[in-house]
C-alpha cells in the first residue's frame, strides 16, 4: 500500500482575517495605477516600517477605474492604512477611503 502525504488545510480560526478598503484619488487628472500604488507603499513604509508593511498583507486589486481602487489588508491594520492615506503629502493629489468591507461584492457596488 502506498500512502500519500498531504498537508492539512488551516483551520478557519488560524487564517489571517482580511478587509477590503475602497479608496479614491482626488486629482485634477487621471493617474496611473502603478504610480498611486508606489506612493501608498512608500508612505506606509515611512509610517510603520517594512515589518509593519509585511504584517499588513497589503494587496492591491486590479479594479482601477476613474481614480478609484480597492486594496486588501489585514483587519488589524485598517486604521494604519487609512492614516497613511492622510499622510501622503503630494501637492497634486489626495487619497481618501470610501468604504471598508469584508467582502468584495459590497465594494464593487460603489465603484
Residue 53 has a pLDDT of: 92
Q: Rounded distance, CA 97 to CA 82, Å? A: 7
Q: Rounded distance, CA 41 to CA 73, Å? A: 12
Q: What is the pTM of this model?
A: 0.83
Q: Are 54 and 108 contacting, i.e. CB atoms less than 8 angstroms apart?
A: no
In the chain, what are the domains?
A: 17-105 (3.30.70.3250)
Supply φ then ψ for residue 40, to 5 degrees.
-65, -45
Residue 91 has a pLDDT of: 67
C-alpha cell, 97: 477611503
Q: What is the pLDDT of residues 54-84, one digit of tens each?
A: 999 999 998 888 889 999 999 999 999 999 9
C-alpha cell, 74: 489585514
Q: What is the pLDDT of residues 25-46, one digit of tens each?
A: 998 888 889 988 998 899 899 9
Q: Rounded distance, CA 30 to CA 109, Å? A: 21
Amino acid at each position: 500500500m502506498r500512502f500519500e502525504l498531504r498537508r492539512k488545510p488551516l483551520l478557519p480560526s488560524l487564517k489571517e482575517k482580511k478587509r477590503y478598503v475602497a479608496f479614491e484619488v482626488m486629482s485634477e487628472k487621471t493617474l496611473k495605477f502603478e504610480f498611486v500604488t508606489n506612493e501608498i507603499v512608500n508612505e506606509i513604509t515611512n509610517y510603520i516600517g517594512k515589518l509593519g508593511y509585511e504584517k499588513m498583507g497589503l494587496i492591491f486589486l486590479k479594479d482601477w477605474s476613474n481614480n478609484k481602487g480597492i486594496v486588501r489588508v489585514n483587519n488589524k491594520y485598517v486604521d494604519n492604512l487609512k492614516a497613511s492615506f492622510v499622510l501622503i503629502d503630494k501637492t497634486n493629489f489626495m487619497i481618501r477611503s470610501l468604504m471598508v468591507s469584508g467582502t468584495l461584492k459590497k465594494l464593487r457596488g460603489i465603484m
